[in-house]
Amino acid sequence: RCTVACMPVPIEEASAFGVMAVDENDKIIEFVEKPANPPSMPNDPGKSLASMGIYVFDADYLYELLEEDDRDENSSHDFGKDLIPKIT
């Protein structure tokens, strides 16, 4: 229902980005914005998957997420901080 474009970056640089951990099927299992300890790639512990800020959503699903986020008083209404972590 959502695809996130990402690219490998050296793990020591990954804390500057939104990064994700994926399972053996490349399904996102965690998304964190600018983490102090970024997760490494499954097959390359020296790299982390950084979000490129490009997201492809099923439109109905995106509308649901946006409406839910709009009602959340604690949300900063940011894709990387609020929406993407909810879908993992």
Which long-range contacts (C-beta less than 8 Å, at least 24 apart) are formed by 41-45?
Answer: 41/8, 44/8, 45/11
Strand-pairing partners, residue 21, are: 30
What is the pLDDT, as a whole number, of residue 69?
A: 94
Q: Is the pLDDT of residue 78 over 90?
A: no
Distance CA 84, CA 20 (A): 10
Cβ–Cβ < 8 Å for 18, 88: no
In this prediction, residue 6 carries a pLDDT of: 94
Which tokens go with 63?
């509308």
User: For residue 47, is pLDDT > 90?
Assistant: yes
Length, in residues, of the chain: 88
pLDDT of 46 above 90: yes
Condensed to tens digits (0 to 9), the pLDDT of residues 8-20 reads: 999 999 999 999 9
Task: Give the pLDDT confidence score for residue 81 in this predicted structure.
Answer: 81
